[in-house]
Structure formats: structure tokens, C-alpha cells
Chains A and B, each alone.
Chain A
Amino acid sequence: MARQPSPTRPAAPSSRSQLLVALLVLLALAPLPGLGLGIYWQGVVIMSLYYALLASNWNLLSGYTGLFSLAPAAFGMLGAYVSALLWTYAAVPPLIGIPAGMMVCALVGVLVGFLTLRLTGPYFALTTLALAEILRIVALNSFAITNGENGLRVPTIFDAQSSYYYLFLFLVASMLIGLHWLLGQPCGYYLRAIRNDETGAQAKGVRTVFWKVFAFSVSAGLSGFAGAVVGHYLAVVSPSMGHLMITGLIISMVVLGGMGTLLGPVVGALLINVTSEFLRAAGDLQHIVFPMLVILFARFCKEGVVGRAAMLLRPWMLRRSEGLAKLREARAS
């Protein structure tokens, strides 16, 4: 266990270089529809980007604040349902329905956060799990309102699939830039302080409960937003969006990619969603393979792919920064 980074010193290089790599990855994806990426694979990438949004949100909670919500997929579903219900029963257009979905999720986040985050212990994980399953059951059983398993039909925002492709690229990019900005603000430091040592943070005067509720409601709101948008892409909103399997996939993306790294969830989402396509062809193996990998990673490679790569790159980065310092010295003299 000695090889593992200590929790107080993240192994990852500064999140700015991670942000740059992530933006480069997204930039590399951008010309693909023009280069002849088929409709099917465009859809795969769009769903990967949707999961990248959810995974980045979840990472803000787990990787940076140390809170383990088991409801990321359920919040996506809730956001999608708010927009879908508003459209079905009040003919509210998606452009208003999507922000409404985000607000409802953020509000639920505040309420659940207020209930559970005052307490230490497993209350938060337990309550979010119960909430996730019960939201799904309510959506499934309220047949008269939600049409049950068949889901609600909703209008699309764009006609062309490639428009959604660029929309999601834009959303992921702006989310990463936003997260990078947030983590550089005082509140970003508060969140990481809470993860590393909650009592210590409290002793230093950080309002831990407030910031934990803040992180949860931001994460819930953004998940709801992503879910509402993807609902209008899929044109149908069904309870299966909130299944625990989806939450499992999101956790796999973050754990395999690298918890507490900006780049990890994006890499994990693309990696897992694309691999899923092949594993599905090989006989629906993805739900067996990924949980197994998560257990192995949690046991032996806690820092994930990105964290491990950063550790391997660290000597080189150090040498580079030493070299730069020497260069600066030489210039100064």
C-alpha cells in the first residue's frame, strides 16, 4: 500500500494540464462526424458524453468532497422527467423545461443534503440509494401520469444528430472549464479540505455542512440538467434512465478513470461506453466486467488510469519544472 498516494497530496498534476488534455480529447472528437463517423457511433459518443457529464458531477462529490451519492443516474432521470412532464401536461418548451429540471434536482439535493449531511456516517449513501430506487419505482408505477415502463415521448431540440454531437461536446467542455474554475476558488479548497479531513476543516472554520450541501445540490442540479438534455435527444424519457446499473456504470467510469482528477471521468466515460458496445456484442458482458474491474481498481489501483499515468509522468514533470527553474535562474543572472 506504500505506493498509493497519500490523501493529502494528490498524485495528479495540476488540473490545468488535465483540463488541456481533456479539451484536446474533445477537440479530437469534434471533426469525426464530418470525417464519416456513422449515425450509430455518433450516438455512442453522444451517450458517452452524457455519462461524462454525470461522471464529472459524481466526481465533484466523491473525488473532491468525499461524499458517495448512489443517485447520480436517478437525478438524471428526475431532470428528464420534469422537462417531459412539463411538456406533456403544460406544453412547456424544452428550453424552459430543461432549466426547470435542473432547478428541481438542485432543490431535491438541498433537501436531502440538509437531512443527511448534518450527520456523519453512512446516512448519506443509504438515503441517496433509497431515494434513487424509490424515484424509479414511483416513475414506473405512476402509470396514469408517466406511462410507466414505456416512458413519455418528448420533442427533440434539433433535427440532425450531429447537432446533438456538438451540443454535448460543448456541454462537456464547458462543464470541465467550470469545474476547473470552481476548484480554484476558495470553495474548491473547502471541498477538498472536507474530503481530506472533515474535522480538521471544521476546526479551521470551514462551514462543512453548508459546503457539503452546496456540493451535493450543484452535482444534483447538473445531473438533472444533463438528464433533461439527453431526454430531448433520445425523444423518450423512461424509468430505465435511473436504474442502479447506470449508477454502477457512472461509478465505474470515475473509479477506472481516476477519482479526484478532472480528466479521469471523461476518459473513463469514453473508454467504458465504447468498450460496452463490444462487450454487448460478446453477450452482454459489460455488467459483469465493469463491476469486477471496479473492485480490482479499488483494491489495487485506487488512483485510476489518469492518476496512475500522472504518477508515471511525475518524474518527468518534476524534471521539466526543475529545468524551467534553472533556465529562469540562468536568465536572471
Chain B
Amino acid sequence: MFASMLVNGIITGAFYALMALGLTMIFGVLRIVNFAHGEFYMIGGFVYVLLYHNVGLSIPFALPAAVVVGGLLGWLVDKLLMGPIYTDARSMRQGRDEYAIIVTFALSLFLVALMTKLVGPWSLQGPRLADGRPIAIAGVRVSPHQIIALAVTVAFLLASMLLLNHSLWGRQIRAVAQNRFAAAIVGIDVRRVSMLVFAAAGALAALAGAMLSNMISPAPDVGAFPAIKSYVIIVLGGLGSPVGAILGGLLLGIIENLGAFYVSFAYRDTYGLVLLVLVLLLRPNGLFGEIRREV
């Protein structure tokens, strides 16, 4: 039983990691928290389910379409709303934080209300990625759907980490995250990097939403909890740390699944808060965060 809880935890955690990775990259590059992240997830789920059920696209087309829509949405958010964070003359920490929190939080509520208006307040269950009976591997029963979902998620996580660590774009992202001014001085287009990061974050969150649409049916307000969990995860892993986001996601997934079994199922969503309190109390910089001072 423990093993199967652990496996379930890892599967859930991989999806959390997908969301948290984008969020932590946005924080690394723009030094802001995107409070509309859960809505990228929600819209990804909806696009996938609607394309599959209403348009009749098959899964191999609907899934990438959802990812592309999520990416476009992220790009648009950066293009239309994040401008003042760069151009505002008094872009001190205070003014920026204020603007970012108000605007992304309002955007989140706006997107929820808009989707409620467009598709209704109901939830729509997504299709399974693969049919078939659960397979027992070393005593742990997993369905083919779960295996494929996990494989795709892990592939995306690995690809993101590879791109981040070894490609030119990834190096630019890391450079901007390390020091924006120095990055601009050596000729990196900071504005383009931030659009890239926002688009990637939107795409990853939309992918998570689409892949989870079979287990957690998309509804307009479905994004709140995955988003809150990714906030906990990025604090747990250390703000701005991609490795921290992935390991933090796995850790939270495992803790939640074990807690749901051994402590209480109804309150499984609250374990994140307990974890958050412990991290803030004992290690505010997170597991993989670095202590940074801004001048």
C-alpha cells in the first residue's frame, strides 16, 4: 500500500512540478509572482477537452493545441500587461510588486469569470490518453493513462531542464535571472527573454491542465488549487530555482498522497499550508534557494 501511495504521489507531484517550474522561472526573470498561473492551467484543460469533444480532434492534435494556446496566452499576458514593470521610470521594488500583484490577481478573476460566461460553470471531463486495464508493476497498480501522462510530463520536465541548462535561450534566461542589468549590458534582450519565459510557463501549465483533465475535470475555478500548490512549491524549493520547483513538486505530491491515506482525505489540500508554515519558519529561502541581496 505504501508503495502505491508513493507512486501516486510521484505522479501527482510531476504535474505540480510542471506548473511550479513555469512559475519559478517567471519569478526568476521578472521577480514577480504570477497570480493568474492557475488560469493558464484551467484554460489548457478546457481547450484540450473542448477540442476533443466538440471539435472532434484526436488526442495527438488536441494536446499540442492546448499547449500552444497556453503558450500564446502567456506571451500575450507578458506583452500586454507586464510592460510597466520594465518601462515605469520608478520601477522600484514597491511599485513593481504592487502592480504585479494587483494586475495578475485581477487577471485571474477575470479569466475565471470569462470562462464561466463562455462555457458555463460546469466541469467537463477529459478523455483518457490510453484505454486498458491497470497494469501491476511490482505490486503497484497503475493505469496505462497514468503511465503515458507521467511519461509525457517527465519528458517535458527533462526537456525544459535540458533547454534551460544547455541551450542559448536557456543560458539567456539564467543570465537575466542572475542579474538583469548585467544581462542587458552584454546584449541580451531582456524583454524578449521575459516573453519567452511567460510563454513557456503558460505552455507548461496548460499541458498540466490538459493531462489532468481526465482525473480533475476542468471547471472555470479549477485552477485555484493547483496554483496555490505551486506557490507553496516554489517557496519550498526556493524562489526562482527550477530544480527546487521540480523536487518540491514531487515532495508535495508524495506528502499529500501519504497524508490523504494516513491522516485525512478531506483535508489533503491543507497539508501544503502546513508545509509552507514549516518552510517559512525553519528555512525561508527554501530547500534550494540562495540568499540574495538586492541593491
Contact across chains for A129 and B231 when beta carbons are under 8 A apart: yes
Give the residue among B113, B231, B272, B284 with the most A Cβ atoms within 10 A: B113
Interface residues of B in 193-232 (CB under 8 A from A): 224-225, 228, 231-232
Contact across chains for A122 and B32 when beta carbons are under 8 A apart: yes
Q: Which residues of B contact A284 (CB under 8 A)?
A: 117
Binds B, one of A38-46, A75-83, A162-170, A247-255: A247-255
Contact across chains for A248 and B109 when beta carbons are under 8 A apart: yes
A256 to B80, CA, bound (A): 20
CB-based nearest A residue for B231: A126
CB-based nearest A residue for B32: A122
**B105: Cβ under 8 A from any A Cβ:** yes
**B239: Cβ under 8 A from any A Cβ:** yes
Contact across chains for A137 and B269 when beta carbons are under 8 A apart: yes
Tally inter-chain residue pairs, CB-CB below 8 A: 121
Given that A130-B231, A244-B109, A298-B102 are contacting pairs, would A7 and B270 also be in contact in the complex, using a CB cutoff of 8 Å?
no
A291 to B108, CA, bound (A): 9
**B94: Cβ under 8 A from any A Cβ:** yes
Given that A125-B33, A129-B35, A251-B102 are contacting pairs, would A134 and B109 also be in contact in the complex, using a CB cutoff of 8 Å?
no
> How many residues in B have their beta carbons less than 8 Å from beta carbons of A?
48
Give the residue among B92, B93, B109, B281 with the most A Cβ atoms within 10 A: B109
Q: Within the complex, which residue of A119, A291, A295 is in contact with B113, where a contact is CB–CB below 8 Å? A: A291
Contact across chains for A244 and B224 when beta carbons are under 8 A apart: yes
How far, in Å, is A287 (CB) from chain B's closest CB?
4
Query: Chain A interface residue count: which class?
Result: 35 or more
How far, in Å, is A211 (CB) from chain B's closest CB?
16
Q: Which residues of B contact A7 (CB under 8 A)?
A: 90, 92, 94-95
Q: Which residues of A contact B90 (CB under 8 A)?
A: 1, 6-7
Q: Within the complex, which residue of B110, B116, B267, B280 is in contact with A291, where a contact is CB–CB below 8 Å? A: B110
A1 to B88, CA, bound (A): 7
Contact across chains for A125 and B110 when beta carbons are under 8 A apart: no
How far, in Å, is A157 (CB) from chain B's closest CB?
32
**B99: Cβ under 8 A from any A Cβ:** yes
**B168: Cβ under 8 A from any A Cβ:** no
Q: Within the complex, which residue of B88, B92, B225 is in contact with A133, where a contact is CB–CB below 8 Å? A: B225
Given that A7-B95, A115-B281, A122-B32 are contacting pairs, would A298 and B228 also be in contact in the complex, using a CB cutoff of 8 Å?
no
Interface of B is mostly: helix
CB-based nearest B residue for A2: B89
**A141: Cβ under 8 A from any B Cβ:** yes
Q: Interface readout for A95-129 with B: 1 if CB under 8 Å, 0 if not? A: 00000000000000000000110111111011101
Contact across chains for B105 and A141 when beta carbons are under 8 A apart: no
A133 to B38, CA, bound (A): 13
**A68: Cβ under 8 A from any B Cβ:** yes
Q: Which residues of B contact A252 (CB under 8 A)?
A: 106
CB-based nearest A residue for B264: A141
Q: Within the complex, which residue of B102, B109, B273, B284 is in contact with A119, where a contact is CB–CB below 8 Å? A: B284
A275 to B178, CA, bound (A): 46
CB-based nearest B residue for A126: B231
Interface residues of B in 239-277 (CB under 8 A from A): 239, 266-267, 269-270, 272-273, 276-277
**A281: Cβ under 8 A from any B Cβ:** no
Q: Interface readout for A237-260 with B: 1 if CB under 8 Å, 0 if not? A: 000000011001001100100000
A326 to B101, CA, bound (A): 46
**B3: Cβ under 8 A from any A Cβ:** no
Contact across chains for B266 and A298 when beta carbons are under 8 A apart: no
**A131: Cβ under 8 A from any B Cβ:** yes
Q: Within the complex, which residue of B89, B266, B269 is in contact with A134, where a contact is CB–CB below 8 Å? A: B269
Q: Could you list 15 further interchain pairs (A-B, Cβ under 8 angstroms) beyond the known A66-B94, A291-B113?
A: A1-B88, A7-B90, A68-B97, A68-B98, A115-B277, A116-B280, A118-B284, A121-B239, A122-B97, A130-B232, A137-B267, A137-B269, A255-B102, A292-B106, A298-B103
10 shortest A-B CB distances, which residue pairs? A287-B113, A291-B110, A294-B106, A291-B106, A248-B109, A291-B109, A122-B33, A288-B113, A126-B231, A141-B266
8 A-B contacts, Cβ less than 8 Å apart? A7-B92, A68-B98, A126-B232, A129-B35, A130-B232, A287-B113, A292-B110, A295-B81
